[in-house]
């Protein structure tokens, strides 16, 4: 899948870059400090006896390291994580995860999708394909399950016997089996049975993807099953091979945080890596720029600019998923860059941004056209 199979440290380096420009922090930068260096991460007692599918197990393994963190609607956490550890042998099965915790907005789903698309493109050298669907909330899933049950009963004489027998125990597993056997042309679509709330959420996400010019394909045969997943589900493929899968998983996340409910969306990317010891990461260069934005118009433009910043290798960071300007400025103070790039609704509509020298407070209004060239000349 990867370009002649990458070294593990190269995968980490590319994941770091995507995280920096799309506003995802490495879990390792937060979790150890939050819980104390010597306290072992453990699963909550409420997880005892919970049966998880393999992807949900990976997400739960990520969440147990997040238990001391406090995501909320005001301060959501956008994190990425990998099982690659500098200084240790590369794992047999490498994965990279991107998650948004605490945000119920479709912006969070769009950010996870955009970040995984960027990383897939970097790792494979191919243009990714995004397929997306919505399984809806609990009300929707119950309604859809009944529709699937009727589907398999009515077509019992024409469908493979294996699918019909599977439907007697798990209609979602039967639906996945029908898809695998390529006999799902008439399979009911879950989006036809969405509750009003789920339909609104899905439409808002698709609108966000369209406004940010993110190519996607609607796929009614993309199904998530089991109690862990809800609402949006999506997969990312390259050269015909699925490399990443993601979904919302609020019911799973609620086990790990004291503040309930905890909206959550995430995705796991599987990638091949060369075996051998993983070299320690080099110290990143000091940030020259921090980009803060206020309002949906600015957020949408910043999503598109993220890839331009990454290609130009600018020493810049941004936190696209944070709505609060105060929270964004708090992170700016911690990172202490030389320059601040600011975009509000006015600037977004004018396709411009304000560049401020944090030492002298001198400001310039820069057009977004060739913005990266201007910043490179300054930085």
Under CATH, which architecture does the 8-128+224-271 domain have? 2-Layer Sandwich (3.30)
pTM: 0.92
Q: Which CATH class is domain 289-378?
A: alpha beta
Q: End-to-end distance of the chain based on CA atoms, in angstroms?
A: 35
Query: Distance between CA 233 and CA 54 in Å, rounded?
Result: 16
Residues of the chain with CATH 3.40.50.800: 289-378
pLDDT at 89: 85
The structure tokens listed for 52 are: 């998880």
pLDDT at 275: 78
At 19, which helix (H) or strand (E)? helix 8-22
- Alpha carbon dihedral 252, 177, 143, 103, in 10-degree steps, equals 30
Residues of the chain with CATH 3.30.930.10: 8-128+224-271
The structure tokens listed for 59 are: 């997400």
At 377, which helix (H) or strand (E)? helix 371-378
pLDDT tens track of the chain, all 379 residues? 555 678 888 999 999 999 999 999 999 888 656 555 446 778 898 888 888 889 999 999 999 999 888 888 788 999 999 999 888 888 888 999 999 999 999 999 999 999 999 999 999 999 999 999 999 998 899 999 999 999 999 989 899 999 999 999 999 999 999 998 888 888 999 999 999 999 999 999 999 999 888 999 999 999 887 788 999 999 999 989 999 999 999 999 999 987 778 899 999 999 988 877 787 777 777 899 999 999 999 999 999 899 999 999 999 999 999 999 999 999 999 999 999 999 999 999 999 999 999 999 999 999 999 999 999 998 6
């Amino acid at each position: 899948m990867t370009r002649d199979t990458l070294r593990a440290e190269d995968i980490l380096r590319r994941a770091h870059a995507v995280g920096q420009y799309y506003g995802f922090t490495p879990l390792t930068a937060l979790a150890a400090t939050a819980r104390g260096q010597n306290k072992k991460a453990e699963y909550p007692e409420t997880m005892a006896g919970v049966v998880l599918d393999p992807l949900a197990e990976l997400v739960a393994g990520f969440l147990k390291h997040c238990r001391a963190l406090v995501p909320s609607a005001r301060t959501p956490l956008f994190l990425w994580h990998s099982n690659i550890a500098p200084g240790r042998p590369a794992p047999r099965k490498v994965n990279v995860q991107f998650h948004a915790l605490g945000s119920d907005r479709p912006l969070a789903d769009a950010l996870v999708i955009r970040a995984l698309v960027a990383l897939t493109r970097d790792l494979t050298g191919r243009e990714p394909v995004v397929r997306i669907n919505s399984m809806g909330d609990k009300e929707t899933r119950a309604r859809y399950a009944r529709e699937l049950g009727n589907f398999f009963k009515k077509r019992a004489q024409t469908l493979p016997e294996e699918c019909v027998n599977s439907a007697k125990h798990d209609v979602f597993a039967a639906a996945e089996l029908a898809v695998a056997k390529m006999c799902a042309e008439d399979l009911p679509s879950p989006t036809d049975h969405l509750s009003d709330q789920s339909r609104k959420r899905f439409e808002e996400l698709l609108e966000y993807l369209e406004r940010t010019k993110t190519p996607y394909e609607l796929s009614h045969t993309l199904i998530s099953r089991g109690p862990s997943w809800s609402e949006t589900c999506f997969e990312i493929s390259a050269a015909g091979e699925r490399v990443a899968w993601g979904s919302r998983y609020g019911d799973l996340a609620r086990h790990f945080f004291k503040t309930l409910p905890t909206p959550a969306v995430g995705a796991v990317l599987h990638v091949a890596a060369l075996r051998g010891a993983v070299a320690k990461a080099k110290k990143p260069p000091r940030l020259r720029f921090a980009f803060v934005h206020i309002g949906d118009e600015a957020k949408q433009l910043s999503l598109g600019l993220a890839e331009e910043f990454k290609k130009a290798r600018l020493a810049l960071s941004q936190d696209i998923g944070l709505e609060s300007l105060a929270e964004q400025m708090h992170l700016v103070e911690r990172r202490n860059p030389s320059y601040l790039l600011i975009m509000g609704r006015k600037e977004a509509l004018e396709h411009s941004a304000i560049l401020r020298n944090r030492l002298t407070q001198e400001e310039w209004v820069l057009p977004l056209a060739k913005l990266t060239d201007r910043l490179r000349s300054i930085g």
